[in-house]
Amino acid sequence: MIENRTIGEKYFTLLDAIDEGFCIMELVYDKPGKITGLVFREVNQAFEKQTGLSNVIHKTVDELLPDFEQQWIETFTNVIKTGEPRRLENYVKDTNRWYNIYFSVFGGGKSSQLVAVVFHDITECKRHEQQQEYLLKLSDTLRSVADPVAIEEKISRMAMEYFGTDRCYYCTIKEGNALIRKDAFREDLPSVAGTYPLIHFTLLKKMVDEGRTFVVHDANTSEMPDEALRKFCLQLQAISFIYVPVVKKEKAVGLLCLIQSVPRRWEDMEVQLAVETAERTWAAVERAKVEEVLQESEENYRAIVEQSITGILKVNLSRDIIFSNEQFAKRLGYSIRELTSMTLDDIIAEEDLERDKALFGRLIAEGKAYEIEKRMKRKDGSLVWVNNQIAPLFNNKGQPQAAVDISADVSRQKAMEAQKDEFISIASHELKTPLTSIKAYGQMLEEIFEAGSDAPNYGFIKKMNVQIDRLTDLVYSLLDTTRISGGQLALQPEFFDLNVLITQQVKEMQRMAPKHRIIFRASELSPVFADRDRISQVLSNLISNGIKYSPKGGDIVITAKPKEGQLKVRIRDLGIGISAEKQKDIFERFFRISNEATRSISGIGLGLYIATEIIQKHGGVLGVESKPGMGSTFYFTLPYSDNKTEDNL
């Protein structure tokens, strides 16, 4: 209540009505003019509400707020001396509150020793500000630390400082254990970092099981779930504490603990802040763990890519190189920087470029990976053979968006292959001359003995000539392979009647295959334009394979029909058949299927390789349809121009 001694009656109601605290204070002096204290002279109604202090009139500040008198005396003296008002923000420890205070000289000019003080409680606002500051600092810290343990350590320390506790730690709950990796604690206390099996640690277990925030103001008096727990807390000197479990999918996965060895009245805001801290810690630790795993896996991949002896490139769909590993750059003699400003077209030899581009086009259109042996150009212009696998990388719509290009240097193998080819070429040439003479003598002898009466020797000579023919075929096959790899397989096309050729072949082969029936179902055909001998060679190979690989006999059926501007010849047997995964390989040079069924069948794996080359050179394709145990149908096509196609026959 304002006494109207100092304030006129008319202000009385006004000052009592405002909700800010108001008081008039006076500086009191002893005789020699030394200030002895500050005395409350008048207060308004809100004063008590704002300060919690009552009956203060005529009392000194020293009596009520001992921490403050000296500081305020200085402010007062200053205000009185200068006549200038002052505004301060003060924390008053005795009331544990913050105030915004405005001091001004009251009344009669310079001689006045009265100061009017208007103040209001800004504690809530101040706490909110501090909380925001703390949360901001927390976020900054969490952002800058990547290691999960360091996060736990920093947060424990920050929270301990902010809450002013004796101990703080965050533990991870995992497989029945509470793991405290780093804790913060008052200097005179020991660390509690370690692994605690929950079954042995009642307090922790209780918190984890209950999964709710646990606030104890004073373990001596607060309600505790049970007496044993109270004793345990007292023993640990955990007199007041907040335990905040972090619960995910109904399971506690972490626990933030703020512990004080003296009783403490935790405010709601503090508890809320502790919950926020626990959640943020968990999120940051989890994120850091994921990042750690990601980083580790990235390091692994990087090491694999960098240390790999294969060359690895990434290219975009325009074939620009966007990544190269060290090995690839080294192989071509470029720096990685140089390579990443080039395209695939700059490093592929002209001879192989078109083929590679066509396959790359298919990769984009159909998302198909491909494998190719090609030559790449080094920076110095020399060439290097590589075996190259190119696979598409898809975007999230499943469309190719780039490609990885993995290549191994096969120059050495290529050089060895060339040597081998050269050897085969020389050897087969050297064998050809004596073999031709032997064959001629053999035929002469056969004719002589055919006319004579020495039937047993005639039989031997005939057998000898069959073997000489086989040997000749073999030598010619070897010669053909060297011609193919040297690009020297030349064709001499002419018009001829394919039906006649097949009929002759069938007749010849039938003589040697009494167990089989070779059937030719002819169609009316116009003459074909092809290399007669080479087509004969293909037919002979396919029919003899049909015979060889159907050891139990059965019909071999041959058809030759025009279809869609092509001529399609099919040779079907009822033999052992070929599994799907081997059907691609059998056209490779020297490839033979080796299994129980083929063990006793002789051959060197060149027939289909040569036949494929011959047919491709004619612009056709050679292929197979087969199922193991169900026989095989080999077919080849030849370009064919005629009006009499199958459709209008």
How far apart are the C-alpha atoms of 534 and 511, rounded to whole Å?
A: 21
How far apart are the C-alpha atoms of 357 and 57, rounded to whole Å?
A: 99
Do the Cβ atoms of 321 and 313 come closer than 8 Å? yes
CB of 589 to ligand ADP, least distance (A): 9
How far apart are the C-alpha atoms of 475 and 528, rounded to whole Å?
A: 29
The amino acid sitting at 313 is: L
CB of 610 to ligand ADP, least distance (A): 8
How far apart are the C-alpha atoms of 174 and 195, rounded to whole Å?
A: 10
CB of 554 or CB of 603, closer to ligand ADP: 603
> Looking only at residues 170 through 209 of this chain, which bind ligand ADP when binding is defined by CB under 6 A?
none
Strand order in the sheet with 240-248: 194-197, 177-185, 167-174, 251-260, 240-248, 214-216
Q: Tell me which stretch binds ligand ADP (CB under 6 A): 356-364, 370-378, 575-583, 641-649.
A: 575-583
Token couple for 34:
């030394």
> Looking only at residues 298 through 357 of this chain, which bind ligand ADP when binding is defined by CB under 6 A?
none
The amino acid sitting at 391 is: A
C-alpha distance from residue 504 to each of 308, 335, 380, 475, 492 (Å): 57, 63, 56, 23, 20
CB of 169 or CB of 587, closer to ligand ADP: 587
Task: Return the residue of 254, 311, 575, 620 that touches ligand ADP, per CB under 6 A.
Answer: 575
Does residue 484 bind ligand ADP (CB under 6 A)?
A: no
> How many whole angstroms from its chain centre is CA 390?
19
Binding-site string for ligand ADP from residue 84 to residue 123, where x marks contact by CB under 6 A and - marks none: ----------------------------------------
Q: Is 100 exposed, middle or buried (0-12, 13-18, 19+ CB in 10 A)?
A: middle
CB of 216 or CB of 622, closer to ligand ADP: 622
CB of 391 to ligand ADP, least distance (A): 29
The amino acid sitting at 181 is: R
Q: Tokens 């901001």 identify what position? A: 136
Q: Tell me which stretch binds ligand ADP (CB under 6 A): 274-282, 383-391, 531-539, 589-597.
A: 589-597
CB of 475 to ligand ADP, least distance (A): 14
CB of 287 or CB of 592, closer to ligand ADP: 592
CB of 567 to ligand ADP, least distance (A): 21
Do the Cβ atoms of 233 and 239 come closer than 8 Å? yes
CB of 392 or CB of 575, closer to ligand ADP: 575
Task: Return the residue of 383, 464, 593, 621 that touches ligand ADP, per CB under 6 A.
Answer: 593
Beta pairing class for 528-530 and 494-496: antiparallel
CB of 414 or CB of 548, closer to ligand ADP: 548
Sign of CA dihedral 501, 503, 507, 512: positive
> How many whole angstroms from its chain centre is CA 181?
30
The amino acid sitting at 612 is: T
CB of 507 to ligand ADP, least distance (A): 20
Closest CA to 476 of 330, 315, 604: 604
Q: Tell me which stretch binds ligand ADP (CB under 6 A): 10-18, 188-196, 259-267, 573-581.
A: 573-581
How far apart are the C-alpha atoms of 609 and 372, rounded to whole Å?
A: 18
CB of 473 to ligand ADP, least distance (A): 10
How far apart are the C-alpha atoms of 64 and 60, rounded to whole Å?
A: 7
Token couple for 101:
């205070």
Task: Return the residue of 604, 616, 629, 641 that touches ligand ADP, per CB under 6 A.
Answer: 604
Task: Return the residue of 105, 216, 608, 614 that touches ligand ADP, per CB under 6 A.
Answer: 608
CB of 332 or CB of 576, closer to ligand ADP: 576
Size of the site for ligand ADP (CB under 6 A): 21
Task: Return the residue of 260, 485, 632, 637 that touches ligand ADP, per CB under 6 A.
Answer: 632
Token couple for 452:
């004579």
Does residue 592 bind ligand ADP (CB under 6 A)?
A: yes
Task: Return the residue of 180, 285, 339, 586 that touches ligand ADP, per CB under 6 A.
Answer: 586
Does residue 628 bind ligand ADP (CB under 6 A)?
A: no
Closest CA to 557 of 508, 517, 525, 589: 517
**Backbone Cα Rg of the chain:** 50
How far apart are the C-alpha atoms of 563 and 283, rounded to whole Å?
A: 69
The amino acid sitting at 403 is: A
Task: Return the residue of 42, 480, 531, 573 that touches ligand ADP, per CB under 6 A.
Answer: 573
CB of 100 or CB of 583, closer to ligand ADP: 583
> Looking only at residues 490 through 549 of this chain, which bind ligand ADP when binding is defined by CB under 6 A?
541, 545-546, 549
Nearest residue to ligand ADP on Cβ basis: 603
CB of 478 to ligand ADP, least distance (A): 12
CB of 394 to ligand ADP, least distance (A): 36
CB of 237 or CB of 583, closer to ligand ADP: 583
The amino acid sitting at 300 is: N
How far apart are the C-alpha atoms of 51 and 117, rounded to whole Å?
A: 13
Token couple for 219:
């373990």
CB of 541 or CB of 637, closer to ligand ADP: 541
The SS3 of residue 102 is strand
CB of 366 to ligand ADP, least distance (A): 28
Token couple for 137:
């600092």
Strand order in the sheet with 311-316: 321-324, 311-316, 400-409, 383-394, 370-377
CB of 626 to ligand ADP, least distance (A): 7
Does residue 598 bind ligand ADP (CB under 6 A)?
A: yes
Closest CA to 278 of 254, 306, 313: 254
Q: Tell me which stretch binds ligand ADP (CB under 6 A): 7-15, 53-61, 198-206, 604-612.
A: 604-612
Q: Tell me which stretch binds ligand ADP (CB under 6 A): 38-46, 198-206, 286-294, 600-608.
A: 600-608
Token couple for 315:
């290219």
CB of 333 or CB of 605, closer to ligand ADP: 605
Do the Cβ atoms of 300 and 307 come closer than 8 Å? no
Vertex 352, ends 350 and 357: CA angle to 5°? Answer: 100
CB of 184 or CB of 608, closer to ligand ADP: 608
Does residue 576 bind ligand ADP (CB under 6 A)?
A: yes
- What DSSP character marks residue 348? B
Task: Return the residue of 605, 617, 621, 623 that touches ligand ADP, per CB under 6 A.
Answer: 605
CB of 316 or CB of 579, closer to ligand ADP: 579
> Looking only at residues 349 through 368 of this chain, which bind ligand ADP when binding is defined by CB under 6 A?
none
CB of 263 or CB of 605, closer to ligand ADP: 605
- Which chain residues interact with ligand ADP by CB under 6 A? 541, 545-546, 549, 573, 575-576, 578, 586, 591-593, 598, 603-609, 632
